[in-house]
Each structure stands twice: as C-alpha cells, then as structure tokens.
C-alpha cells in the first residue's frame, strides 16, 4: 500500500506515514470524519445520462454476481480547488457506507473510481483486499484506456469501459490466485485508521498540471 500523500510505500495497517506524517485524521480534518452514505453510482454533477447510468448499474450488478465478495463504487463530482483526488478517494473509501451492499462486502473489498470534473482527473482506489492483485502500472493503464471517452466528455462510456476492463483483468487474476500464484495477501489490518488503499490517478486533459508535484508542499 502507498501513502496517498507522499506515495511512498507503507506497511499495511500503519496508522501514520513515517515519511510524511500523513494519517486518515489529516483527511478527516479536511473532508469530515462522519460516515458518508454513498450510492454505488453517485453522479453529483449530472454528467452521466440516465440511460448510461442504467447500463453502469447493470455492469455493477454483473460484477457483484461475478465476484460475490467484492464491489465497485463510482463517484463523479467536481471537487473543490486543490483537492487531491487521490487523497479524496482514499478518504471516501475509508469513510463511505454503501447501503445497497450487504455486509459480506466490507470496504476493504471495494474498488472506488473517482471522476473529478474540476481537475479533469480520474482515480482508482482499491481496498486492502483487492490491492495486492494490481500493480500501479496496471491501474494506470486501465485508467488511460478511458481517456479518449473522457476527453470527449462521454463519461458514461469511459466508466463503462474501465469497469469492463477491470472486471476482465480481475477475473484473470482470481483464476491465477486460485492456482496459488499470489500467495497469502496480507489483509490483516490492525486497529489503526489507515486501512485500505492504493490509489492511482491520471489526468485526461492535455494540460500538464501535475498535482502530485504541485499540491503537496505542507
């Protein structure tokens, strides 16, 4: 798992990043510490047409059938200026309650896509349980596959495409896992706050605004 602030490698379950001092409390101070109720698909800015929303819901149903322990949640919104999408996504996955899901799918078994129309970025944060199966490179590749649709403003198609590719990739990985290629994933979180996350983000505008190098000057 990587620190969502300094992106250095952390040991699972650590409460505070030894490199930069980051902790979930830091994000709670920014975004709030109460549980947030989240739909599987939250379109806070009405950027996805109803017909497309339905197709995404269907794809999510399909995903949950295919992976009975896992879930995907999608948040599309316009985050406040200078919000770090990676940190926001990390916070949201830690604090979100998705009422439509049953208890067999805790947040560490979730994947959260965040689409931010303000910074024109998309990010993907994986729960503790799924995280070991994906490399950063795979996540970035996955997100980049959605760029053409994102750039043309077809957010629904982009999400649908990313979702489909993610499922496909995960299916291959779960097969490999059953054959024992991944060994024991260490989802043994301690009581500390920072449980789930690995995050990756890509920006789909042509402008080279690199939040990772500009935003973190605390």
Asked if 5 interacts with Zn ion (CB under 5 A), we say yes
Nearer to Zn ion, 10 or 115 (CB): 10
Report the residue from 1, 2, 14, 22 that binds Zn ion according to the rule CB under 5 A. Answer: 22
Q: Strands, E, within 58-208: which ranges?
A: 71-77, 96-97, 110-116, 121-126, 199-203
d(CA 137, CA 129): 18
With beta carbons less than 8 A apart as the criterion, state whether 194 and 23 touch. Answer: yes
- Supply angle C-alpha 64, 12, 144, rounded to 5: 55
Asked if 20 interacts with Zn ion (CB under 5 A), we say yes
- Supply angle C-alpha 117, 62, 56, rounded to 5: 25
Least spacing, CB of residue 10 vs Zn ion, in Å:
7
d(CA 183, CA 78): 39
Least spacing, CB of residue 136 vs Zn ion, in Å:
15
Report the residue from 17, 73, 98, 159 that binds Zn ion according to the rule CB under 5 A. Answer: 17
Q: Which stretch binds Zn ion (CB under 5 A): 14-22, 73-81, 115-123, 171-179?
A: 14-22
Report the residue from 3, 48, 112, 115 that binds Zn ion according to the rule CB under 5 A. Answer: 3
Least spacing, CB of residue 127 vs Zn ion, in Å:
19
Residue 28: which of 93, 114, 91 has the closest Cα?
91
Asked if 14 interacts with Zn ion (CB under 5 A), we say no
Least spacing, CB of residue 148 vs Zn ion, in Å:
33
């Amino acid at each position: 798992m990587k620190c969502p602030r300094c992106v250095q490698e952390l040991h699972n379950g650590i409460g505070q990043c030894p490199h930069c001092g980051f902790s979930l409390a830091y994000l709670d101070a920014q975004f709030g510490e109460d549980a947030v109720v989240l739909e599987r698909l939250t379109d806070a800015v009405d950027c996805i047409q109803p017909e497309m929303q339905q197709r995404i819901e269907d794809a999510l149903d399909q995903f949950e059938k295919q992976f009975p322990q896992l879930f995907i949640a999608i948040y599309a919104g316009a985050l406040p200026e200078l919000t770090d999408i990676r940190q926001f996504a990390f916070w949201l996955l830690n604090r979100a309650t998705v009422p439509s899901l049953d208890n067999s799918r805790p947040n560490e078994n979730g994947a959260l896509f965040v689409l931010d129309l303000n910074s024109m970025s998309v990010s993907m944060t994986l729960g503790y349980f799924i995280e070991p199966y994906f490399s950063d490179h795979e996540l970035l590749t996955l997100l980049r596959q959605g760029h053409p649709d994102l750039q043309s403003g077809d957010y629904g198609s982009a999400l649908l495409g990313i979702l489909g590719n993610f499922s496909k990739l995960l299916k291959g990985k779960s097969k490999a896992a059953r054959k024992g290629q991944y060994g024991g994933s260490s989802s043994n979180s301690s009581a500390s706050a920072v449980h789930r996350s690995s995050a990756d983000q890509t920006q789909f505008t042509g402008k080279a605004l690199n939040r990772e190098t500009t935003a973190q000057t605390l």
